[in-house]
């Protein structure tokens, strides 16, 4: 029984050591993913700026439209002038 336990531990140690020894170097994958992440962050910043610009344009257009309607409401109709 003791011999089987010892052989089992040796076998597990061998599997662990061989798995670590043949481990793949993931640094190139990590670097590639970091580059993609940096590119996506740049795109995100660009899109955020575009959304802000469009929101400001919408506010200006809405304000100009409401200003024009209130101006026309205070003037008498053109046929009464």
Chain-centroid distance, C-alpha 73: 46
What is the per-residue pLDDT across 48-78, written as a single tens digit (0 to 9) for each? 999 999 999 999 999 988 876 666 555 655 5
Least confident range of 5-9, 14-18, 19-23, 45-49: 19-23
pTM: 0.47
| Residue 26, helix vs strand vs coil | coil
The secondary structure of the chain, three-state, reads CHHHHHHHHHHHHHHHHHHHHCCCCCHHHHHHHHHHHHHHHHHHHHHHHHHHHHHHHHHHHHHHHHHHHHHHHHCCCHHHC
């Amino acid at each position: 029984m003791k011999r089987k336990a010892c052989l089992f531990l040796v076998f597990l140690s061998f599997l662990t050591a061989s798995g670590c020894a043949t481990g793949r170097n993931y640094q190139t994958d990590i670097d590639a993913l970091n580059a993609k992440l940096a590119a996506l962050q740049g795109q995100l910043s660009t899109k955020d700026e575009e959304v802000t610009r469009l929101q400001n344009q919408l506010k200006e257009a809405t304000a100009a439209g409401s200003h024009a309607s209130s101006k026309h409401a205070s003037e008498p109709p053109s046929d009464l002038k």
